[in-house]
């Protein structure tokens, strides 16, 4: 499928779908349920945009606008996931939490 997408100039849609799927898999591995639900909701809001980018015929301007919308939201999601990861690592090391108490593990 990769070569056909490249020949038909759909490589950007393929890359966007691939990164979306990777983010989705990483979000499924988050242990904190509240953070996982928040990230999955953000990803669910992006899915219709990716589908329309893949399947519909759009002008160059619309494609560009949609692509940057999707990429910027993926960057936000990736940032939130990294913050979640850093926070969980700090908690495991025994650093101070936000409320001033010390985590014990």
Q: What is the DSSP string of 26-87?
A: HHHT-S-HHHHHHHHHHHHHHHHHHHHHHHS---HHHHHHHHHHHHHHHHHHHHHHHHHHHH
Q: What pTM did the predictor assign?
A: 0.73
Tokens of 69: 């919308």
Angstrom distance (rounded) from CA 20 to CA 46: 9
Q: For residues 45 and 74, is the Cβ–Cβ distance under 8 A? A: no
Name the residue ranges covered by the structural domains of the chain.
2-80
Q: Can you tell me the mean pLDDT for 55-74? A: 93
pLDDT digits (tens, 9 = 90+) for 11-43: 788 899 999 999 999 999 988 899 999 999 999
pLDDT of 101 strictly over 70? no
Q: For residues 66 and 74, is the Cβ–Cβ distance under 8 A? A: no
The pLDDT of residue 12 is 86
pLDDT digits (tens, 9 = 90+) for 37-54: 999 999 999 999 999 998
């Amino acid at each position: 499928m990769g070569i056909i997408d490249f020949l038909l100039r759909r490589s950007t849609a393929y890359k966007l779908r691939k990164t979306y799927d990777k983010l989705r898999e990483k979000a499924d591995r988050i242990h904190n349920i509240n953070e996982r639900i928040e990230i999955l909701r953000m990803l669910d809001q992006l899915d219709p945009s990716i589908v329309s980018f893949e399947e519909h015929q759009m002008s160059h301007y619309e494609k560009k606008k949609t692509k940057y919308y999707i990429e910027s939201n993926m960057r936000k999601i990736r940032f939130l996931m990294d913050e979640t990861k850093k926070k969980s690592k700090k908690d495991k090391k025994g650093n101070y939490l936000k409320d001033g108490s010390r985590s014990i593990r």
